Structure 1
Amino acid sequence: MRVLLIACGSRGDVEPMVGLAVQLRALGAEVRMCAPPDFTELLDGAGVPMMPIGQPLRPMVKGAVTGTKPQPPSSLPQRAAEMVATTYDAVAPAAAGYDLVVATGLIPAAAAARAVAEKLGIPYVFVAYFPTYLPSPHHPPLVWPGRSLPPEVTDNRVLWDLNTEHMNELFGQGINTHRESIGLPPVDNARDHVLTDRPLLASDPVLSPWPEPADLDVVQTGTWFRPEDERPLPADLEAFLEAGTPPVYVGFGSIPMRDPEDVAKAAIEAVRAQGRRVLVSRGWAGLGLTDDHDDCFAIGEANHHALFRRVAVVVHHGGAGTTTTAARAGAPQVVVPQFADQPYWAGRVAELGIGAAHDGPTPTTESLSAALRTALTPETRARATAVAATIRADGATVAAKLLLDATGGERPPVS
């Protein structure tokens, strides 16, 4: 059995697929992944063969966020069309001889993955990492650039109908033009074509439940983690942790920030105002220290599964992976959402009582101080500990068995 995984997006899109790849291989499957070249080192470290898709993602994302390479909404359809073609050109040769395609991430890239599967006559599965990416009468859709939703409309089904129109406007022409060029028929609904009517949902049922009843036949597996990460923490980080009380972790993962110096300053001042030490993760935002005081320490790559068990609070952007890893570690959280699924995760953290949702994407010393006061209470710590005991760690195993069983004749979670 040979499985091709496609993840075009940030590390939050790629990391869970690595977890799935490890479990598929443990069950005897041969696995290859297509992903942006930014993650070559990550995949090499996991021993997963990789075929790169397009150019590095980090400079493009940084330019869009910081404004150095502005991307007007009018350019989105053109860039989507380019992504479909680029992804198809990378995935098609990589898929030769494979039996199954599993895709996640950006809609144009997943559309190209499905086109490859159609041409080869093999199953295609889409996976989402959070419920609100999928149509449901229980929640509204995400808001896409230049395609705002009317505030007076509160019926979620009407909003999802509008989302269908928006997705067709942004992606439909690029997807169908490419499909025509490779001899495939056009699709009427770009979004539903990519998501399929039976997608996988790789998120935790307690942390992010899929509400029923719904139109889609969603298969929720639990979050896809790699097997327990046993990498030791760097010696200098270990020394900092041992030198005092648990610090507050501040990091925004693979999300660039418009004013990283101001964000770092506000965060460090806010943490110090609570009498706590600070651990700053540089990440794609390029956060750094504001002085050389010994109550602050900056890190690069580290094992979050080990680290988050030893911090007082995790301050982060609200990606699915970071939110779930912190929840699994029992660490209270402060989520400073930037875009996409991050407001959803901020809301879930607040609703579950395991932390605080920051109001908006731009933290100040005062706003972060208020959120930290909530996250640092004994009640929040106790609630985070209780929720941690409910987080499933077997999602990747569940998904791997499901996918392999499906290709063996069981009812497939595929289009």
Structure 2
Amino acid sequence: MRVLLSTWGSRGDVEPLLGLALELRAQGVDVRMCAPPDFAERLAEVGVPFVPMGFAVRELVASKPSPTEVAAALVAVHFDVVGKAAEDCDAVVATGLMPAGVRSVAEHLGIHYVLACFHQLGMPSLHYPPGRRPGKPFPPGETDLRVLWKIDAERVDAMYREPLNTHRAALGLPPVDNVRDHVLTPRPWVAVDPVLWPLQDVLGFDPVQTGAWLMPDDRPLPADLVKFLEEGEPPVYVGFGSMQMAGVPDAGAAAVEAIRAQGRRVLVSRGWADLAPVGEGDDCFAVGEANHRELFRRVAAVVHHGGAGTTTTAALAGAPQVIVPQLVDQPVLGAARDGAGYRCGARRSDADRRVPVERA
């Protein structure tokens, strides 16, 4: 059996699929993965066959393109790159930034398609409102969640329906009226920990909660990092993963100074925000790529953006957490994580909001 895994997004969209890829491979499944070129080295590390898909995520976020341009380009990549990569496959699992064209590719090839989410906030519900997407504004003062979710579907259609149906027509496929629900399917998978994030009722869908997809990691910590950890009391870890923190460029420095004010040492994870030590003291150490499963067992607390993967890993390590949510699921789901730590806010610039970060 051959399975194609497809995603376009940040590391939080890639790592869970790598966890799935390794488990499938252990079960004898032939797996390959379409992902942004940013992650070629990471896939090579774990030996998963890699098909570069589209443009680099970091470059896109920095360039602030229009949402409609990104949508059209992404759909084209689905039909081209994913379409070719899936030709000899039996199934495709899609996630990440609105994989609008992947289901159409599977339909054309006659193979099975599954949509996987790492949160359920893109599914209509009477428990929470839609997340932020570009497009039609909500009516002032509107509180009816059914109305808001209808507008959410209209926003997705405005960005994706025309390019999607143009490519579908070229393959002889009928047009799609509701892109969001078409992508989700009636039975999407939700790959998150059921203790941290139990499923809530959704409107018109029957999701399957699989539990979190975690990468096994037995890498030793770098020697210089181990030396820093052993030289004093456990430090407080600060890292924001794939968040570039453009709207709050001083977030890392502010966190370091706040931690120092409490008499604690600081471990700074560079990440996509390129965080660095502050000041000349030996109480602050910068680390790049590292085994979080092992590292979080050895820190006093974890300050991070609230991504599902980091939150789950910190919870498994028993580390207290301070969450500084930035986008997508992070601000909303942060409230459900307060039992594992403390959640605080962060400013975001208007420029950041132009980047289409919605997930399926």
TM class by smaller structure: over 0.9
Cα distance in 2 for residues equivalent to 1:99 and 1:344: 36
Residues matched between the structures, number: 348
Match in the other structure for 1:77: 68
Change (3 A) 1:171 1:224: same
Structure 1: tracts of 5 or more residues without a match: 64-68, 363-415
Name which of 58, 82, 85 aligns with 1:91.
82
2:178 paired with 1:189: yes
Match in the other structure for 1:52: 52
- 1:188-232 per-position Cα deviation (integer Å, ceiling 9, x unaligned): 0000000111000000111111113753110001000123x1100
- 1:224-266 per-position Cα deviation (integer Å, ceiling 9, x unaligned): 0123x11000000011111111111111101112267622221
**1:151 CA displacement:** 5.4
* Identity score, percent: 57
Cα distance in 1 for residues equivalent to 2:230 and 2:69: 52
In the alignment, residue 4 of structure 2 is paired with which amino acid?
Answer: L
**1:146 CA displacement:** 4.2
Which stretches of structure 1, 4 residues or more, deviate above 6 A after TM superposition? none
In the alignment, residue 172 of structure 1 is paired with which amino acid?
Answer: R
Within 5 Å, give how 1:94-173 maps onto structure 2: 94-107=85-98, 110-150=99-139, 152-173=141-162
2:185 paired with 1:199: no
Cα distance in 1 for residues equivalent to 2:14 and 2:157: 26
Cα distance in 1 for residues equivalent to 2:115 and 2:132: 20
| Deviation larger for 134-143 or 112-121 | 134-143
Within 5 Å, give how 1:137-286 maps onto structure 2: 137-150=126-139, 152-212=141-201, 214-227=203-216, 229-258=217-246, 262-286=250-274
Match in the other structure for 2:27: 27
- Verify the 8 A CA contact 2:157 2:179 in the aligned structure 1: yes
**1:81 CA displacement:** 1.0
**1:148 CA displacement:** 4.0
Cα distance in 2 for residues equivalent to 1:213 and 1:114: 21
Cα distance in 2 for residues equivalent to 1:48 and 1:207: 29
Name which of 269, 294, 312 aligns with 2:300.
312
- Verify the 8 A CA contact 1:323 1:345 in the aligned structure 2: no
Match in the other structure for 2:276: 288
- 1:90-147 per-position Cα deviation (integer Å, ceiling 9, x unaligned): 111111211001000111xx12211210111011000000121222222211111344
Match in the other structure for 2:288: 300
Structure 2: tracts of 5 or more residues without a match: 349-360
- Verify the 8 A CA contact 1:128 1:200 in the aligned structure 2: yes
| Deviation larger for 120-129 or 77-86 | 77-86
Q: What is the TM-score with the length of structure 1 in the denominator?
A: 0.81
Cα distance in 1 for residues equivalent to 2:140 and 2:113: 36
- Verify the 8 A CA contact 2:124 2:202 in the aligned structure 1: no
- Verify the 8 A CA contact 1:260 1:285 in the aligned structure 2: no
Cα distance in 1 for residues equivalent to 2:36 and 2:79: 13
- Verify the 8 A CA contact 1:203 1:221 in the aligned structure 2: yes
SS of residue matched to 2:128: coil
In the alignment, residue 153 of structure 2 is paired with which amino acid?
Answer: T
SS of residue matched to 2:250: helix
Q: What is the TM-score with the length of structure 2 in the denominator?
A: 0.93
Match in the other structure for 1:401: none
Name which of 325, 334, 349 aligns with 1:346.
334
Cα distance in 2 for residues equivalent to 1:265 and 1:76: 31
| Deviation larger for 282-291 or 148-157 | 148-157
- Verify the 8 A CA contact 2:123 2:202 in the aligned structure 1: no
In the alignment, residue 360 of structure 1 is paired with which amino acid?
Answer: A
Change (3 A) 1:59 1:78: closer
Change (3 A) 1:154 1:247: same
Cα distance in 2 for residues equivalent to 1:329 and 1:284: 23
2:4 paired with 1:13: no
- Verify the 8 A CA contact 1:6 1:104 in the aligned structure 2: yes
Computed over aligned residues only, the root mean square deviation of the Cα atoms, in angstroms, reads 1.5
In the alignment, residue 82 of structure 2 is paired with which amino acid?
Answer: V
- Verify the 8 A CA contact 1:130 1:201 in the aligned structure 2: yes
**Bigger helix fraction:** 1
